[in-house]
Homo-oligomer: A and B are copies of this chain.
Amino acid sequence: MHQQSDNDAAPGPISGGARPGGRGRGRRAGETATRADILSAARGSFAERGYDRATIRGIAGRAGVDPALVIHYFGSKEALFVEALELPQRPGDVVSGGLAAGREHLGATIVRAFLETWDAPATQAQLTAMLRSALTNDTAMDMVRRLLLREVFGPVTRALGVPDAQLRADLVGTQLLGLAMLRYVARIEPVASAPVDRLVRALGPTLQRYLTEDLAAGDDG
């Protein structure tokens, strides 16, 4: 259940990284699975219920642990939330990869990368938690903003030479965000279960147009 050994990332309990008293004499900082269990339980709770409705007690119960231990390890609910939602994905991959693959398939490549990233269960839990919490929690909203900026807006505006790159990036953001909401959070059919290929064919040209084609040529109503 615990993803991998986090020997350099996890500072152990609240006291922090470098042990102050030399190599202490007591019990070794036992490589317990508990901390990772709590993180996993937190991701599940935040994804299912959002930040406000997820409780420390609920997370602790899910991990089979006392609520106080959660605070002991992470300091506060907010800090737990931040740590639980740290993304394993390197930034810029989705869109940057798409840009490198050639401009004529840019839209389709972005949609495919986006969907394949989200369809992985571990990532899906983190991003669902982020989205579900974003609308009532400022920290989560900032996370989404930064994620969009890093993953979509930044690479797009950097790569495109056009002057209205920011609006184009925003348009891509609306389409991808709406897709994520319906498919992963609200789980509305048939888009929730549609195969990736079908969505790539449906949404790819949309993003392609937002990024590379003329946006002023639409017909008016």
List the interface of chain A (C-beta within 8 A of B): 49-50, 52-53, 98, 101, 104-105, 108-109, 111-112, 131-136, 141, 144-145, 148, 166-167, 170-171, 173-179, 181-183, 185-186, 188-191, 194, 197-198, 200-206, 209-210, 215-221
Residues of B within 8 A of A53 (CB): 52, 136
Q: Which residues of B contact A105 (CB under 8 A)?
A: 219-221
With A53-B52, A209-B206, A219-B108 as given contacts, are A177 and B167 in contact (CB-CB < 8 Å)?
Answer: no
**What are 22 sample pairs from A and B whose C-beta atoms fall under 8 A apart?**
A52-B52, A52-B136, A104-B219, A108-B220, A108-B221, A112-B221, A134-B135, A135-B136, A145-B186, A166-B189, A166-B190, A167-B198, A167-B202, A171-B191, A173-B178, A173-B182, A174-B179, A174-B182, A174-B183, A178-B181, A197-B220, A204-B221
| A221-B111 contact given A131-B135, A174-B175, A201-B215, CB 8 Å threshold | yes
Q: How far is the CB of A74 from chain B (nearest CB, A)?
A: 22
Main secondary structure of the interface of A (DSSP, over half): helix
A167 contacts B179, C-beta separation under 8 Å: no
Given A53-B52, A135-B50, A182-B177: A167 and B145 within 8 A (CB)? no
Contact residues in B for A111 (Cβ distance below 8 Å): 221
Cβ–Cβ contact B219 & A204, under 8 A = yes
Given A167-B194, A190-B170, A200 and B215 contact (CB-CB distance below 8 Å): no
Complex contacts, A210 vs chain B, CB 8 Å? 202
Smallest distance from the beta carbon of A192 to chain B beta carbons, Å? 9
A217 CB contact (under 8 Å) in B136, B181, B201: B201
* A108, A132, A202, A203 interface centre (most CB from chain B within 10 Å): A202
